Amino acid sequence: MSAILLASGGMDSTTLAYWLKSHDINFTPLFINYGQHCVETEYNTLIKVLPEDKVKHIEVVDVSSIYKGSSSRMIVPADLWKDAITADDLYLPYRNLLILTIGAIIAQKKGFSKLYAAFINSNHAKEIDCSNDFFMALEPLLKEYGSIGIEMPFRYFSKLEVAKMGIQLKAPIGYTFSCQASADIPCGACPNCVDRLEALRKIA
């Protein structure tokens, strides 16, 4: 079986890449540039943390113009010395719907039947398209109209559970990057950084 993996260089998708490899599932990593300020850092990190045999198979889709003009701090980097950032500042409308739809399109184009995404059960998720109800409604819809099954093996996992699995699979989770506020250096304060650092601290 062949599949698409939504890959960003973050802890969750990196762990999922090694999980897929451990299950002998052939996958193509798909990196989506939706205009995020940290796009270069994410991509360079992805090259470092993916299983080595998958690096040359990375596919990149550029839809960076779609959020042009957005004031979201996921698009416009914050000044970590001056700006007070809240979770609301990091909201980006329909981002997850966008990347899942793109992933499904690429999967169908290649003749694959599965799209893997590493969404987890996060207490910080505020987006309407990051709820269990949303994912449960979207999966059968995409499958019915495009024969693409969305697989989220970590959907009910905590960040700590993903980190533990990453270590078991020998995934280089310590080198991953998933900051929402800073373009190059993890801020340590955004929801993604807080979850990641807390998980790493608990297993240290």
Q: Per-residue DSSP letters for 8-59?
A: -SSHHHHHHHHHHHHTT-EEEEEEEESS-TTHHHHHHHHHHHS-GGGGGG-E
Give the pLDDT score at 106.
Answer: 95
Beta-bridged to residue 3, according to DSSP, are 27, 114
Q: What is the mean pLDDT of the chain?
A: 86
Mean pLDDT computed over 165-172: 96
76-100: per-residue pLDDT in tens?
Answer: 887 766 766 666 777 888 888 899 9
| Residues across the chain | 204
Residue 30 has pLDDT above 60, yes or no: yes
Give the pLDDT score at 127.
Answer: 58
CA distance 79 to 85: 9
Query: Which of 13-17, 26-30, 104-108, 182-186 has the lowest average pLDDT?
Result: 182-186
Mean pLDDT computed over 35-42: 94
Residue 172 has pLDDT above 90, yes or no: yes
Structural domains in the chain, CATH included, are: 2-203 (3.40.50.620)
Give the pLDDT score at 62.
Answer: 98
pTM reported for the whole predicted model: 0.89
CA distances from 183 to 127, 153, 177, 196 (A): 21, 28, 10, 17
Tokens of 169: 């699979």
Residue 139 has pLDDT above 70, yes or no: no
> 175 with 163: CB under 8 angstroms?
no
